[in-house]
Chain A
């Protein structure tokens, strides 16, 4: 689900090398270099920014707290990492990556060109990863103009194949993030109470997840009598007796994302409200049950449609039904009826169902780990 991007990742930023050991990254690095060789390229430039950093984190574990980062992986030899930081920031930034070297930059094009030249790649064939979806055109134009003899090749698809299957240690990272989300949901049971503002309540929820070492937290809410209104970032709206609250949380710990969604009612639950909540939960359960390795993402969406019926499914589709999740909050496959993508045998998925009907609202959502083709919900079921 689309959420509000912050001005800075302002949670704890460090590396837990027990959770995600360096040999895992060394294995990945070797796989990437093998893919570079298989593609007939001399190296790959991998670009990321604070919003879409998954490709860069996959190879380096580095996450930019703001702005951008560029990694050069040559066909053989060591990588280089250019980060949008000052030279005095290097000691604090180096703890975020297993790479030995890091170069700071103020303006990317000049440093990127220098890097390519320094590595003897001015006449090379270089694959581009993350560039088309994220690199600003002004910066790309400047880089391309200074390197007229480089043959650029788009390698997003090849890199996506490498990222599709989760490494075993990633399970632990996903579980840790899911635990942080679960802690937030648990706190919500106490925080969401009449007489305070939504902002105050979500501050309490946010705090608990930051204490669980969250690097980034995104929260969307809807509230009111029935909560038949759209999700939004928290604001000053008061919570009142009898209100329904739709709570959606995305959280990042050690670069890995998880998400969950639940409906809370601050008082007795009306029958119609209960039914709508059950519809949302049942749809998420139906999607989870439909997961198996090699399943079509469209079949997962069809399971939700079958559970919800035409009318409610049309509402749920406005918010989307979910996607892959991991180093990016949104990864392939997208769960949609028109998707042609397949569910990997080993991966992670986010499911969410937001419903509005007759002035009422409900939400349910969870993160699902897929191992050996079997799905298991991380944290409590919605």
Chain B
């Protein structure tokens, strides 16, 4: 396990204080946060952020404007794990059918101005049950935690850095185990096993191969062939936090064309990273990447359906920026974390991938993934 150096108690205290300050500014007396337990790379888990508990199922966190939050969780037998936290929280363990009723009853005690966060993930039946039991108006609290959590605390950064080191191990496993004749899902299993053993509890992992890939996709039962271009989006999760590494590996010596096109992507990544500085709009990253690739004659391939985004916020959800496109343009701040990836479909070579998870620092981005940037290959 990572030898954590950050004072997590203080780290969680800071997160809670920032959320409670935001509540105060909005005139709220309480915030009820629902989370369904369906974890997602791009959706922030506000429960984990405030409690360090990665839930098995639906939970409700009640945050008073001052004082200690209460976590209503289930199943009861998981309360032991929930209690192993450095965050200052009270835990109430109930049976699954009591989470919403208990949560609503506790929310009533938060005062006259209670906001709800979680509608985007709250099923119809759960919403009906909660609001019926609460029986009063609920204000909109959707953006409070995501706004506060747009930049990473020291404790969060430590975990993302460790996740990044696991991603590097995962790609090493891919290099060592990929061989002609193995199925794509077997290769994914090798990568998964290496990262799991190294501490990853989860993985947003996509690995695909072919002589001409159209896009990244899940692994199938297709067998690897000589000359295959293997593309990998490796995204291990360490204690709730994710980091992503995108690379390309060829089972056979690359052609001059493949080398040239990959060099283009590497140049695009350099320019994209150069645009990732505090105070600048995130759209600048996408524009820089698209500039390099567009100048090489692939401007139309920098748009849908070929290309959607040049990266996204990553760590605990894609908070800010959600997507790195030349349209959306939040201002970058110090300690935002994101993956920058000029992954690209190229008509002559198919889809190729390169990308790193970065943290924005005062003088620009620092790559957390350390796998050298180059086109990988071995004799098939």
Q: Which of B288-317 contact A (CB under 8 A)?
A: 304-306, 308
Per-residue contact bits, chain B 113-146, to A (CB 8 Å; 1 contact, 0 not): 0000001111111110000000000000000000
For B, the interface residue count at a CB cutoff of 8 angstroms equals 63
Q: Measured between alpha carbons, how far is A161 from B130 in the docked complex, in Å?
A: 28
Nearest-CB distance from A353 to chain B (Å)?
13
Contact A11 B188 (CB under 8 A): yes
Q: Which residue of A lies closest to B222 (CB)?
A: A14
Per-residue contact bits, chain B 21-45, to A (CB 8 Å; 1 contact, 0 not): 0000000000000001111110000
Contact A7 B237 (CB under 8 A): yes
Contact A2 B214 (CB under 8 A): no
Contact A199 B196 (CB under 8 A): yes
Say whether A232 faces chain B, with CB atoms less than 8 Å apart: yes
The answer to whether residues A137 and B199 also contact, given A86-B305, A88-B345, A232-B78 and a CB cut-off of 8 A, is: no
Contact B125 A92 (CB under 8 A): no
Q: Which of A304-356 contact B (CB under 8 A)?
A: 318-319, 354
Nearest-CB distance from A365 to chain B (Å)?
15
Contact A12 B80 (CB under 8 A): no
Contact A91 B201 (CB under 8 A): no
Q: Measured between alpha carbons, how far is A238 from B230 in the docked complex, in Å?
A: 35
Contacts of A229 in B (CB 8 A): 80
Contact A12 B124 (CB under 8 A): no
Contact A6 B345 (CB under 8 A): no
Contact residue among A2, A12, A133, A136 (Cβ-Cβ distance under 8 Å from B220): A12
Say whether B96 faces chain A, with CB atoms less than 8 Å apart: yes
Say whether A270 faces chain B, with CB atoms less than 8 Å apart: no
Say whether A51 faces chain B, with CB atoms less than 8 Å apart: yes
Contact B304 A86 (CB under 8 A): yes
The answer to whether residues A66 and B77 also contact, given A6-B202, A132-B125 and a CB cut-off of 8 A, is: no
Say whether A174 faces chain B, with CB atoms less than 8 Å apart: no
Contact A2 B96 (CB under 8 A): yes
Contact B1 A140 (CB under 8 A): no
Contact residue among B199, B221, B306 (Cβ-Cβ distance under 8 Å from A199): B199
Contacts of A202 in B (CB 8 A): 196
Contact B39 A5 (CB under 8 A): yes
Contact A10 B56 (CB under 8 A): no
Say whether A134 faces chain B, with CB atoms less than 8 Å apart: yes
Nearest-CB distance from A233 to chain B (Å)?
6
Say whether A240 faces chain B, with CB atoms less than 8 Å apart: no
Contact residue among B37, B78, B189 (Cβ-Cβ distance under 8 Å from A5): B37
Contact B185 A213 (CB under 8 A): yes
Interface segment, B203-211, B277-285, B358-366?
B203-211
If A66-B40, A136-B123 are given as contacts, then 4 extra A-B residue pairs at C-beta distance below 8 Å, sorted by A number, are A10-B219, A66-B41, A88-B305, A206-B189
Q: Closest 7 CB pairs between A and B?
A: A12-B185, A210-B189, A203-B196, A92-B217, A207-B193, A137-B127, A203-B197
